[in-house]
Amino acid sequence: MKKRVLSGIQPSGKLHIGNYFGMIKRMVEYQESSDLFLFVANLHSLTTLQNKDEMKNLTLEAAMDMLALGIDPEKCHFWVQSDVPEVAELTWILSCLTPMGLMERATSYKDKIAKKLGANLGLFSYPVLQAADILIQQAELVPVGKDQKQHLEMSRDIAAKFNNTFGETFTIPKPDIPKDVAVVPGTDGQKMSKSYGNTIPIFDDPKVIKKAVMGIVTDSKGVDAPKNPDKCNVFALYKLFASKEERVGMANEYRKGKIGYGDAKKALLQKIQDTFEPFQKKREYLAKHPKKVEKILEEGAKKVSKNTLKTLEKVRKATGLRY
């Protein structure tokens, strides 16, 4: 039996190569080896995104992005979160069992408040909705980064409390945290993030992508000067795309002073173009045929609803709500 894996992506704007290597590439691999449940988390986005047209557009665009980058609805469950309303009912039920103290310990909420994102109940109770997403699908594995580890632990605590209170109902999910995932650096050397304005977009005008790559920050060493590839942002990004042989060859050219940063950036740009050009063409096709994307999402919601209704019925019976 394949393990059931669940993940979600918020519709939050243009994807960049950090998103691809940090999450999406892993999901494409998971759909080949596991029973993947993947959704566009628009209910989660509602905590901070409260513009109707923007929400609609970003939700559809996020779906197009994922489909263009290799997510295959024939190989996984792929849907939009709000199209499966059972998760909202489960969120309320779980909220009635979740201790306030558990919510108050959430460091993510504290961080967002510190950044003045605005406090609302949805942002505070975000981990309960996340728990409902996971538990309603009876997910066994949840791929998360280290920054989401606490939320997954909270989901495990909520599931355990429900099971102890009402009887065995939910699978206790396990985190899948890669041990050696390199941080994808942005053009300024910090972690690539839209909030830092240091991203290299995937689906944008080629001139915009080229400008981002050629603007990567480097030191001032000349073309013929020996350079340390391990301390270069350009090389760190090049490694993500290159074969072992190519990485070794580029590293040797760095150390021997046989390549300048300009040529290294051109080599990186070529790798980006070669890797993402097929995805960009598919993305253009999907953008011209939005009804096809909507149909995929509609079918995905129907497909996953069979699973959510089965779990929710168990919950209703266990709690006495099904009288």
- Tracing tokens 């290299």 back to the chain, one arrives at 200
The three-point CA angle 181-186-192 to 5° equals: 60
Longest dimension (CA), the chain: 79
Would you call 97 exposed, middle or buried from its count of C-beta atoms within 10 A (0-12, 13-18, 19+)? middle
Coil vs helix vs strand at 232: coil
The three-point CA angle 199-200-205 to 5° equals: 125
Delimit the domains of the chain by residue range: 4-172+290-319, 194-284
Residue 244 among the catalytic residues: no
Residues belonging to the chain:
323
Class of CATH domain 194-284? mainly alpha
Residue 295 among the catalytic residues: no
135 in Cβ contact with 311 (< 8 Å): yes
Residue 303 among the catalytic residues: no
CATH 3.20.20.140, domain 4-172+290-319, yes or no: no
What gap in Å lies between CA 141 and CA 134, rounded to an integer? Answer: 9
pLDDT tens series, the chain, 323 aa = 799 999 999 998 889 999 999 889 999 999 999 999 999 999 999 988 999 999 999 999 999 999 999 999 999 999 999 999 999 999 999 999 999 999 988 887 887 777 776 778 998 999 999 999 999 999 999 998 776 788 899 999 999 999 999 999 999 999 988 776 667 999 999 989 887 899 999 999 999 999 999 999 999 999 999 999 999 999 999 999 999 999 999 999 999 999 999 999 999 999 999 999 999 999 999 999 999 999 999 999 999 999 999 999 999 999 999 99
Q: Within its chain, how far is the Cα of 55 from the centroid?
A: 17
pTM of this prediction?
0.91
What gap in Å lies between CA 268 and CA 210, rounded to an integer? Answer: 10
2 in Cβ contact with 33 (< 8 Å): yes
Catalytic position from the list 161, 191, 258, 314: 191
φ, ψ at 54 (rounded to 5°): -65, -40
Which strands, in side-by-side order, build the sheet including 4-9? 77-80, 35-40, 4-9, 141-143, 174-176
What gap in Å lies between CA 300 and CA 38, rounded to an integer? Answer: 10
- The DSSP letter of residue 97 is T
What gap in Å lies between CA 129 and CA 119, rounded to an integer? Answer: 16
